[in-house]
Amino acid sequence: MNRKQFFLSIILASVIGGLVAIAGVSFLSPSNKTSSFEEKQNTSFVNWLKDDKFNVPDGINFVASADQVLPAVVHIKSAVTMQSNRGGGNPFEEFFEFRNPNGGQSQPREGMSSGSGVIISKDGYVVTNNHVIEDAKDINITLYDNTNYEAKLIGTDPTTDLALLKIEASDLPFVPFGDSDKAQVGEWVLAVGNPFNLTSTVTAGIISAKARNIGILRNENNNLQIESFIQTDAVVNRGNSGGALVNLAGELIGINTAIASQTGAFSGYAFAVPSSIVKKVMDDLLEYGTVQRGLLGISIQDVNIAKEFLDKDIAVNQGVYVADVNEDSGADEAGLEPGDIIIAVDGKTTNNVSQLQELVARKRPGDEVKVKYLRDGKEKEVEATLKNLSGTTKVVKKAEVSTNEFESVTFKDLEIGLQERLNIDGGVIIEDIDNEKWEKAGAREGFVITHIGRDKVGDSKNLKRTLQANKGEEIMILGIYPNGQKSYFEITLDK
For strands 244-246 and 269-274, give the pairing: unpaired
Which of 226, 227, 180, 225 lies closest to 207 in space, CA to CA? 180
C-alpha 461 chain-centroid distance: 35
Which of 432, 438, 444, 428 lies closest to 83 in space, CA to CA? 444
Residues within the annotated binding site for substrate? Answer: 131, 161, 239-241
- Alpha carbon distance 426, 457 (integer Å): 7
Out of 131, 157, 228, 276, which one is annotated catalytic?
A: 131
Using alpha carbons only, what angle is made at residue 130 by residues 128 and 131, rounded to the nearest 5 degrees? 110
Following DSSP, what letter does each residue of 457-468 receive, concatenated?
P-SHHHHHHHHH
Out of 65, 75, 116, 161, which one is annotated catalytic?
A: 161
Phi and psi angles of residue 462, each rounded to the nearest 5 degrees, phi first? -60, -40
What SS3 string covers 31-73?
A: CCCCCCHHHHHHHHCCCHHHCCCCCCCHHHCHHHHHHHHHHHE
Q: Specify the amino acid at residue 385.
A: T
Q: Specify the amino acid at residue 340.
A: D
Residues within the annotated binding site? Answer: 131, 161, 239-241
| E strands in 290-362 | 298-302, 320-325, 341-345, 348-349
Measured CA to CA in angstroms, residue 379 lies from 341, 344, 348, 370, 372 at distances of 9, 11, 15, 13, 7
Cβ-contact 378, 355 below 8 angstroms: no
Cβ-contact 242, 118 below 8 angstroms: yes
Is 75 marked active-site?
no
365 DSSP assignment: T
Partners of 290 in the β-ladder:
none
Q: How many CB atoms are located within 10 Å of the residue 146 CB?
A: 8
Is 241 marked active-site?
yes
Out of 114, 228, 241, 275, which one is annotated catalytic?
A: 241
Q: Which residues are catalytic?
A: 131, 161, 241
